[in-house]
């Protein structure tokens, strides 16, 4: 297993990244076994193992990795560590839809490969999703970088969900499999497929921000400046809300590949 810190992971404490076979009685009780965790990948060998271990530690009943044509060791790792490895055409929306259609759990959790669930994440999600008027939930984002700018970024992500009802994929969207299929899954678009799904979910209830955190690698900020990435994201969201075509917006967002040599700032 590669060290998650190589991709910006420097979580407080490493005990919860321990492989599940070494956890013994500390593994979550089987109250969360109805959850299928779906991880879309493309050249994610450096971070995938940590994401899978975090899902195991959280008590996932099934972990499905859907690969979009990786050229590194992603598929080898997924075949060893996940419950199922599926391969399909690249594109997050396509990959997550394929994973959801093959998942066996009653509840779905979509997890990016550079994100980590905490041990109590799925247990807490199960408790909140059982409430009336709740369509879906996401976790409280925490970028693993000791910098006030990232704390502001995390607070802004929570505010976006609470004010606009739009959650992004790196917040770990969780919802019932039956509802996911009822609304037709993720729209097949190259960008903002997560926000578009949330718009459809709003007709069925609220999207909650759970108290539990999800740890996110700041790797997107390694190759570019903080404000360059942040302002681009804000611009793209505003343009999407105004109806700018997805094909045009996709030109400005880099593909979700893993940088080979992250720049430290």
Segment 3-30 shows an average pLDDT of 39
Q: What is the mean pLDDT of residues 237-255?
A: 76
Report if residue 145 sits inside a domain: yes
Cα 66–35–33 angle (5° rounding)?
125
Dist. CA 264–CA 46, nearest whole Å: 16
Q: What distance in Å separates the CA atoms of residue 92 and residue 244, rounded to the nearest whole number? A: 20
Would you say residue 263 has pLDDT above 50? no
Question: For the ranges 45-54, 195-204, 239-248, which has the lowest average pLDDT?
Answer: 239-248
Specify if 201 maps to a domain: yes
DSSP code string of 186-224: S-S-SS-HHHHHHHHHTTT-EEEEEEEEEEE--GGGTSS
Assign 255 a pLDDT band (cuts: 50, 70, 90): low
Helices (H) and strands (E) in the chain, counts: 9, 8
Decide: 166 and 198 in contact? Cβ < 8 Å.
yes
In a domain, 64, yes or no: yes
Question: 133 and 207 in contact (C-beta within 8 Å)?
Answer: no
Q: Which of the four pLDDT bands, split at 50, 70 and 90, describes residue 3?
A: very low
Confidence band of 182 (pLDDT split at 50, 70, 90) = very high
Segment among 175-179, 222-226, 256-260 with least mean pLDDT: 256-260
- Residue 56 structural domain: 4-227
How far apart CA 75 and CA 43 sit, in angstroms, is 9
pLDDT of residue 13 exceeding 70, the answer is: no
The answer to whether 219 touches 147, Cβ cutoff 8 Å, is: no
Tokens of 133: 């008027």
Arithmetic mean of pLDDT, 128-157: 91
The confidence score (pLDDT) of residue 254 equals 58
Q: Does residue 181 form part of some domain? A: yes
pLDDT value of position 191 = 84
Across the range 46-64, mean pLDDT stands at: 96
The mean pLDDT of 203-213, rounded to a whole number, is 95
In a domain, 255, yes or no: no
Q: Is the pLDDT of residue 30 over 90?
A: no
Q: Is the pLDDT of residue 141 over 80?
A: yes
The tally of domains found in the chain comes to 1
Structure tokens, 166: 């739009």
Q: Would 249 be classed as within a structural domain?
A: no
Percent of the chain with pLDDT over 70: 83
Length of the chain: 265
d(CA 50, CA 2): 8
* Over residues 61-79, mean pLDDT: 97
Domain at 208, CATH number: 3.90.550.10
CA distances from 85 to 74, 171, 197 (A): 10, 22, 24
Question: Which of the two residues, 260 and 229, has the higher pLDDT score?
Answer: 229
């Amino acid at each position: 297993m590669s060290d998650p810190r190589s991709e910006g992971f420097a979580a407080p404490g490493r005990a919860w990244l321990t492989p599940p076979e070494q956890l013994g009685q500390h593994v979550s009780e089987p109250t969360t076994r109805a959850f299928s965790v779906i991880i879309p990948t493309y050249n994610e060998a450096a971070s995938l193992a940590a994401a899978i271990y975090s899902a195991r530690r959280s008590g996932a009943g099934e972990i499905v990795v859907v690969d979009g044509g990786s050229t590194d060791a992603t598929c080898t790792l997924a075949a060893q560590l996940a419950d199922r490895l599926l391969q399909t055409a690249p594109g997050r929306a396509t990959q997550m839809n394929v994973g959801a259609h093959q998942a066996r759990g009653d509840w779905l959790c979509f997890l990016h490969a550079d994100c980590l669930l905490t041990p109590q994440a799925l247990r807490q999600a199960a408790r909140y999703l059982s409430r009336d008027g709740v369509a879906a939930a996401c976790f409280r984002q925490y970028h693993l970088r000791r910098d006030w700018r990232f704390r502001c970024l995390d607070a802004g992500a929570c505010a976006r969900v609470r004010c606009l009802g739009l959650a992004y994929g790196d917040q770990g969207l969780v919802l019932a499999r039956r509802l996911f299929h009822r609304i037709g899954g993720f729209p097949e678009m190259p960008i903002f497929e997560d926000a578009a799904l949330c718009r459809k979910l709003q007709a069925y209830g609220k999207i909650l921000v759970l108290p539990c955190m999800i740890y996110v690698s700041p790797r997107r900020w390694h190759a570019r400046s903080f404000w360059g990435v942040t302002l681009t994201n804000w611009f793209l969201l505003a343009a999407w809300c105004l109806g700018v075509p997805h094909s045009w917006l996709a030109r400005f967002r880099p593909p979700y590949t893993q940088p080979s040599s992250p720049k430290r700032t």
